[in-house]
Amino acid sequence: RKNVVLIDAELAGFEITAYCNILLKEQANNKLQEFEEKIKSEPQVLEVVSLSGQYDYMIKVVAKNIKEYNNFMTTVVANIPNIGQYHSNIVLSVIKNDTKFTF
């Protein structure tokens, strides 16, 4: 779809990468769109996907350290209207991270 430069987040000063699962209180279309517009505007959020199953969304977030990540979660994510629950998973190590399709 486009040419990009892949940046090593850790070399760029982001020590924390986390995946956060989010459950909204309401799933009406306008509520989903409100959440999507707010979360995708946040520069620390690298990826947003909607999910089937237990959670509505999963976001990938980078932060310089755990304090900055906690601040982002408590002042930004927790204050988005319609957030029901969120659960963070901190990345300990990346086993594979590829962008090409090889068949």
The CATH number of whichever domain residue 21 belongs to comes to 3.30.70.920
pLDDT digits (tens, 9 = 90+) for 57-100: 999 999 999 999 999 999 999 999 999 999 999 999 999 988 87
With contact defined as beta carbons under 8 Å apart, do 73 and 20 qualify? yes
2 occurs within a structural domain:
no
Name the E strands within the chain.
16-24, 45-50, 57-63, 83-90
| pTM as predicted | 0.89
53 occurs within a structural domain:
yes
28 occurs within a structural domain:
yes
72 occurs within a structural domain:
yes
35 occurs within a structural domain:
yes
50 occurs within a structural domain:
yes
99 occurs within a structural domain:
no
- Whole-angstrom distance, CA of residue 62 vs CA of residue 11: 12
Number of domains into which the chain is organized: 1
With contact defined as beta carbons under 8 Å apart, do 71 and 80 qualify? no
